[in-house]
Amino acid sequence: MTFVLREVLALRELGFQVETASINRPDRPADELTQAEADETKCTYYVKQHGLSGAAVAKLQTVFGNFGGYWRGVGLAFRLAGWICGGST
């Protein structure tokens, strides 16, 4: 199991809602995935599979589905990148 998947599963166990997205589908055939990886592929959004219009729709659903949470996440990303100062992380 990959490091990222372990982290996602641990966050979910702590009660966080984590939705996963990936540019590409897994780089291995389904029969070579662990059970946890196979389970995660069923609920992961694959950008290239849906194309640009699908990505735009997903983005809008995220923005309007949880407007405040979305912008807090954007702000945190900018602070972590060092692009803006202030606030606690």
pLDDT band, very low/low/confident/very high, at 16 (cuts 50, 70, 90)? very high
> Is the distance from CB of 19 to CB of 45 less than 8 angstroms?
yes
Give the largest CA-CA distance in the chain.
47
pLDDT category of residue 1 using cuts at 50, 70 and 90:
low
> For the chain, what are the domain ranges?
3-81
pTM: 0.60
Question: What is the overall mean pLDDT for the chain?
Answer: 88
Q: What is the pLDDT of residue 10?
A: 95
Place of tokens 């959004």: 45
Note the pLDDT tens digit of each residue in 56-83: 898 898 889 989 999 998 999 999 998 8
CA distances from 81 to 11, 18, 29, 57, 78 (A): 22, 21, 35, 26, 5
- Helix 47-65 crosses helix 67-81 at what angle (to 10 degrees)? 110
